[in-house]
Structure 1
């Protein structure tokens, strides 16, 4: 480790309490610690979080920082969570995640990458809740959410990306993005911030897409600029071949900010049960020079970006049933998503790969969950 790993419990005290001192029964850091601990044990909603507080007894409540022997009820949790300053919540939790990333630095030769992607909270969206679409920044290496911002809907991601990039530490990082966010000013902002990008190029950038497609349609013309790599994976009932070809031929000819390489990825998937085959070609651009990223490394960065759904979205949807959640008052949808992100991040840092199994184990051994937050375990 390059520096001490931050303790989440200590940072929760930095989130401001909007409540008047008179009549404030439960300390805010204790309520937030309770929420994270319950999420670690697989309790999904603020009603379930209240149940967790009742189920595990006084000793647990005292350890979390409560000054009374009774846990907050669901109505209290609702009132507190919906009134929080969501920007402060996101800032503190992102600061914790950034601290963990810094404390568990990648090997010197590795590229520290952040995937930016959007996620609609479908249940809250059906209830027309504000903050029902979230733009998230997720670290490839640890799976930690280092930034999250609410937007009106997916089409508003382009307008929100500037603020998110402004809040992120870009220097010496690679930002990976889907085609929707492949924009000139986004590339410029990343490069100006000392970072690099890997972007997928589709029809929203027609000229760039056509130039890349034309280049790879006649590879013999630029053979000396080409490099390739390939992977093969077998699992989940399918065989997937991936081949990437990169080229430096457009450097100096394209006005795309920082462009160092363009690439084409050919994906061929065969379903073992039926023999059905599917193939596609995906184009992209990166500011990473060939000296910094080989064709194989660029392919791995793209694949890791695609896996964001496995590391964050899928876990939140399946393990925490996020898509069916219909909480919709104030900042609650975004606050609950931020708490889920943090719980998942704590488990990832602890080396957990099966989040559902980890939740069940923590439910049976709750002091282990508190240890992740920064509370010394006790013998029950």
Structure 2
């Protein structure tokens, strides 16, 4: 195993291009204007003659509150605006004595198009990352990691028996971009939702991962038809398939590749026979993995885990398995620990989707800032900016403007060779 990764971590490219310039990434006073321009593409559902507050101003205010981890209810968000009115006035987001109330925030969250809100920022961030990646290396042979997993909004239930809403997220873990957040009634609804979303994406040079719930033949067929690869966990909910993998690995033990990677031991058999009805469709390898990452814990009790993958590439397989829980251990954890998403008390599904979208945007921005400032972890970036997210936005938002970014990349890459 060499140091060249098959699964492309875009934030490494961001650090290569922008970290050397971090001291010269000056805060732009006009970043608010640029941010308002980005948010202005979201359709305003309100009757214009009755509008008191510009929608883009409110969306900008909501993002600033979310980036502090303070948006857990409309009441608390409205109270934050009231207490910090001078702060928002200094940024030009509030004029005079017109202060948006929690009822105003609630109405906007109930009716705006969360997908438009997502795309207005996601597309800008994705364009920026694509430009940086293209400047650093020829990444055509790199593989992005796409993961699907559900996350419960634990504050959305009620004592009357109303269950918490489950939100299914699709994360481009390589670029730290959440492509979709869909509120669902229950866990089982994740399966058809994931299938529907996968049909929308171009999956060339993409490894799709998911837990055992998504180890479905139909899902595998969709991924294969879209030009992608998959790596799924196989558990006891499919006892016949799991036992078949165990038998295949045992029978072909002499042919298995033994690999140790990041405190995990892998036994990998690249399938060399014609697939039968007992095999998963499009399967290229079966894997047995034992993790030793908790060896220092008192409850350490390593057990074998089994996987099916459509890729015969050993290095890609172990990286995909090792990175499959980025969506839970990094993305979901960050949203709960810092952004306090579990404390969100909304019940309406559109409001939950809008809140998840704001938190997704906040996560991406913090992740990019972490790469730029070469922080060892996002917790350092959090300490740097949680009380002043406007300072982080003042550095990042100008980079979302194509002209500024192009000039910056050319300045930093002049005289340097692309890496491969």
- TM value normalised by structure 2: 0.75
Counterpart among 375, 385, 389 of residue 362 in structure 1? 385
Correspondence for 1:39: 66
Aligned-partner SS, 2:156: helix
Offset at 1:219? Answer: 3.3
Alignment partner for residue 351 of structure 1, among 355, 370, 390?
370
Give the match for residue 253 of structure 1. 275
Give 1:133 shift: 0.9
Aligned with residue 279 of structure 1, among 297, 302, 320: 302
Give the conservation status (yes or no) of the 8 Å contact 1:61–1:71.
no
In terms of mean alpha carbon deviation, does 339-348 or 170-179 score higher? Answer: 170-179
Which whole-Å CA distance do the structure 2 matches of 1:262 and 1:101 have between them? 34
Shift in alpha-carbon separation, 1:373–1:268, aligned structure 2, 3 A: closer
More strand by share: 1
Task: State whether residues 138 and 144 of structure 1, in contact with CA within 8 Å, keep that contact through their aligned partners in structure 2.
Answer: yes
* Aligned 8 A contact 2:369 2:396 in 1: no
Deviation at 1:342, TM superposition (A): 0.7
- Gaps (5+ residues) in structure 2? 1-9, 19-33, 400-420
Give the structure 1 partner of residue 353 of structure 2: 334
Which segment is superposed worse, 162-171 or 311-320? 162-171
Deviations 1:288-347 (A, max 9, x none): 23xxx32x4312211211232222111111112222322113521121111111101111
User: Across the two proteins, how many residue pairs are aligned to each other?
Assistant: 358
Q: Distance in 1 between the 2:395 and 2:200 partners? A: 26
1:25 aligned to 2:61? no
Bigger drift between 32-41 and 185-194 goes to 32-41
Q: Is the 8 A contact 2:150 2:190 kept in 1?
A: yes
Q: Of 110, 132, 135, which aligns to 2:142?
A: 110
Q: Which has the higher contact order (CA 8 A, sep 6+)?
A: 2
Question: Is the Cα contact below 8 Å between 1:37 and 1:370 reproduced in 2?
Answer: no
How far off is 1:166 after superposition? 2.5
Match for residue 123 of structure 1 among 134, 142, 155: 155
Q: 2:204 aligns with which of 171, 178, 187?
A: 171
User: Structure 1 residues 197 and 21 mapped into 2: Cα distance closer, same or farther (>3 Å)?
Assistant: same
Contact 2:156/2:347 (CA < 8 Å) preserved in 1?
yes
Match of 1:319 among 331, 338, 345: 338
- Structure 1's 375 and 92: CA in aligned 2 closer, same or farther, altered over 3 A? closer
Asked if 1 retains the 8 angstrom alpha-carbon contact of 2:156 and 2:345, the reply is yes
Residues 1-380 of structure 1 correspond to what in structure 2 (within 5 A)? Answer: 9-45=36-72, 46-57=74-85, 60-61=88-89, 63=91, 66=94, 70-105=98-133, 108=139, 109-126=141-158, 132-220=165-253, 223-224=254-255, 226-232=256-262, 241-249=263-271, 252-254=274-276, 256-268=280-292, 271-272=295-296, 274=298, 276-289=299-312, 293-294=313-314, 296-329=315-348, 331-351=350-370, 354-355=377-378, 358-371=381-394, 374=397
Residues 327-378 of structure 1: CA distance to partner in whole angstroms, max 9, x if unpaired? Answer: 11352112111111110111101126654554454354343143256279xx
With normalisation by structure 1, the TM-score equals: 0.82
